[in-house]
Amino acid sequence: MQNKLKIMVLTAEDSLKVFRMTPERIEAALERFPEFRGKVEISITRTSTSFENDPSWNSEDYEKFRRDIVNADILVGYMFPLAEVAALAPNLKWIHIIGAGIEHLLPLDWLPEGCVLTNNRGAHAPKTCEYAMMALLMLANHMPRLACAQQKRKWDAHFVSVIRGSKAAILGAGKQGSAVALAAKRLGLDTVGVDIDPSPRENFDEILPPSRLNEALGSADYVVVTLPSTKDTYRFIGEKEFAAMKEGAGFINISRGRIVDSEALIASLKSGHLSGAVLDVFEQEPLPVESPLWSAPNLTMSPHMGCDDEDNYIHRTFDIVFENLRRLEAGERLENVVDRKKGY
């Protein structure tokens, strides 16, 4: 890196604090990685609103983007006019997306040849671990059921056992799934992962290939979804998969709503086959007021906020970026590279 690498940080005035990239947060990153002070030139392009919001960018926002990306070597952001990138940014070597899911960028036919795309896998891990522990304990103590009873002013007295010694099946054994596995182990659970890569990894007692999904589902007291959203995982969990789960199992989804057939989930909750469920993600967000999920029994919902740490998410984002800068400087492969064919 003999010449300064030009890093364009794309953020918006209406970004929530958790996702806001500010001069103060950039300065904090440079304090953690002081060796890059003289090697990078970081500029912030601040638009009036987020590109994916409604209303979206105005003409001034488009002009800022088109002007600032021209000389950029690296772009750090979330969403932007994809069709214009290749023509506008001939020097662009690398794009880092500040989210783990990149389905909003698919298909990746807009990505310039030779430009690497990375995502934020791992930035959610500490908060995911805490949220998963909470959700597992809620299900173990039948809190969704008790919340339903409270709304009906019903004294639903019954007793449950301790969670230690139970088993969690974690669908997706990547960084988010690994954070769930850590949470489960801290609670004394056995863990089985389901992943296209069945190689052993920390905090999983075993990892099975997708061909053995039903085996994993049938053995588990709790099923947690941490899969990426792709064409292959759309409605991956439906009527047959819920039927394969153990009677009285608990269910958690913290990845993407479109992976789960919500009608099948509701049916399984109504029949009592599932004892309860916790959802943090939904196929349509915000969840429409007419959605039957609002009135589904034994279901606790949170509005897609369970795995995002308001104070530290962007700090960990910049840690990922700067660790990759070290790799770039050393001529090594970057971490969190998105596979163009797989889409994650």
> Burial, 61: exposed, middle or buried (Cβ in 10 Å; 0-12, 13-18, 19+)?
buried
DSSP string across 4-42: PEEEEEEEETT--GGG---HHHHHHHHHHSGGGTTTEEE
Task: Say which of 13, 35, 52, 285 is annotated catalytic.
Answer: 285
Q: Are strands 274-279 and 167-171 parallel, antiparallel or unpaired?
A: unpaired
- Give yes or no for a contact between 142 and 158, defined as CB atoms under 8 angstroms apart: yes
**Vertex 257, ends 255 and 259: CA angle to 5°?**
80
Own/partner pairs for 205-213, CB < 8 Å, 24+ apart?
A: 207/173, 213/171, 213/241, 213/244
Which residues in 17-157 belong to E strands, given as ranges?
Answer: 40-47, 74-77, 94-97, 116-118
The rounded distance, in Å, linking the Cα atoms of 274 and 268 is 6
CA atoms of 98 and 77, how far apart (whole Å): 6
Told to judge if 285 belongs to the known catalytic residues of this protein, a careful annotator would answer: yes
Q: What is the DSSP letter of 337?
A: B
Q: Which of 121, 124, 145, 256 is catalytic?
A: 256
- Which residue in 212, 273, 304, 315 is the catalytic one? 304
**Rounded Cα distance, 218 and 213, in Å:** 9
256 catalytically annotated = yes
Number of CB atoms found within 10 A of residue 321's CB = 25
304 is catalytic: yes
Residues tagged active-site: 256, 285, 304
